Amino acid sequence: MGGRKLFYKLESFLQSHGIKIGRDAFFDLMRDHHLLIKQRKSYHVTTNSNHWMRKYPNLIREQEPMGPNHIWVSDLTYWKTKGGHYYISLITDAFSRKIVGYHVAENMEAIQSVAALKMAVKPLKIGHTGLIHHSDRGSQYCSSQYVSVLNKHNIQISMTENSDPLENAIAERINGIIKGEYLFDYRINSLLHAKEVLKAVVKLYNEERPHNSLNNYTPETIHENHLETQIKRLWKNYYRNEINWEKKNVNSFQD
Residues 6+ apart with CB under 8 A from 133: 72, 74, 91, 117, 150, 155, 156, 157, 158
Q: What pLDDT is recorded for position 96? A: 93
Residues 71-224, CATH architecture = 2-Layer Sandwich (3.30)
Q: What pLDDT is recorded for position 45? A: 53
Q: CB of 142 within 8 A of CB of 79?
A: no
Q: Decide the pairing of beta strands 85-93 and 99-105.
A: antiparallel
Q: Where are the domains of the chain?
A: 3-33, 71-224
> What are the angstrom distances between the C-alpha of 232 and each of 67, 225, 250?
8, 14, 23
Beta strands in the chain (DSSP E): 71-80, 85-93, 99-105, 132-135, 156-159
Mean pLDDT over 40-66 rounds to 73
3-state secondary structure of 120: helix
> What are the angstrom distances between the C-alpha of 124 and each of 65, 121, 150, 182?
17, 5, 12, 28
Reported as a pLDDT band with limits 50, 70 and 90, residue 125 is confident
pLDDT at position 241 over 70: no
User: What region, left, alpha or beta, does residue 238 occupy, with left being phi > 0 and alpha being psi -120 to 50 degrees?
Assistant: alpha
Mean pLDDT over 96-108 rounds to 95
Q: What pLDDT is recorded for position 115? A: 97
Q: Which of 198, 178, 202 is nearest to 190 (CA)?
A: 198
Which of the residue ranges 18-22, 73-77, 137-141, 192-196 would you say has the lowest mean pLDDT? 18-22
Mean pLDDT over 196-206 rounds to 96
Higher-pLDDT residue of 127 and 232 is 127
pLDDT at position 44 over 60: no
Q: CB of 55 within 8 A of CB of 49?
A: yes
pLDDT at position 97 over 50: yes
Mean pLDDT over 166-184 rounds to 88
Reported as a pLDDT band with limits 50, 70 and 90, residue 246 is very low
Query: How far is residue 83's CA from residue 183's CA, in Å, rounded to a whole number?
Result: 12
Reported as a pLDDT band with limits 50, 70 and 90, residue 40 is low
Q: Which of 23-27, 34-38, 95-99 has the highest mean pLDDT?
A: 95-99
Query: How far is residue 135's CA from residue 146's CA, in Å, rounded to a whole number?
Result: 11
Mean pLDDT over 223-252 rounds to 49
pTM attached to this predicted model: 0.73
